[in-house]
């Protein structure tokens, strides 16, 4: 009854660990390119920073999950992880261009800006995930 689960645990572990590593790499890059320190802001109770970073995480995770489901290949997953990272970073740059004061708004804890950024990241992540073949 549990044989298929047990026999697939090594593959699960490989994909899961790879996904976590990809997520950590994405977060390191994302936090490095933003002009404010999300983690410090979140520790201080800044809800806008928490919402916007959470949206970026979800927007990145969606295409990773779809790449595993579609390809069952670690190398494809890593490739789509790179694509997802670039797409999410470009979405952040586009948001900054559309709303020049976005950086200040997030740092000031303006939740509307955090929701906008999170929604954009999730929307782009859904589109990115849907385009994976």
Distance CA 86, CA 83 (A): 5
Measured at the CA of 132, the angle between CA 115 and CA 128, to 5 degrees, comes to 15
- Please tell me the pTM assigned to this model: 0.92
Question: Do residues 41 and 49 touch, judged by C-beta distance below 8 A?
Answer: yes
pLDDT in tens, the chain (133 residues): 778 889 999 999 999 999 999 999 999 999 999 999 999 999 999 999 999 999 999 999 999 999 999 988 999 999 999 999 999 999 999 999 999 999 999 999 999 999 999 999 999 999 999 999 8
Domain ranges of the chain: 3-130
């Amino acid at each position: 009854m549990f044989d298929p689960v047990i026999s697939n645990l090594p593959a699960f572990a490989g994909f899961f660990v790879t996904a976590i590593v990809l997520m950590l790499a994405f977060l390191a890059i994302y936090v490095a390119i933003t002009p404010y320190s999300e983690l410090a802001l979140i520790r201080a109770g800044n809800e806008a920073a928490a919402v916007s970073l959470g949206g970026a995480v979800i927007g990145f995770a969606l295409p990773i999950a779809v790449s595993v489901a579609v390809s069952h290949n670690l190398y494809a997953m890593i490739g789509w992880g790179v694509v997802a990272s670039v797409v999410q970073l470009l979405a952040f740059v586009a948001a900054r261009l559309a709303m020049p004061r976005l950086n200040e708004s997030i740092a000031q804890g303006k939740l509307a800006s955090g929701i906008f950024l999170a929604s954009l990241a999730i929307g782009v992540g859904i589109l990115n995930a849907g385009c994976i073949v």
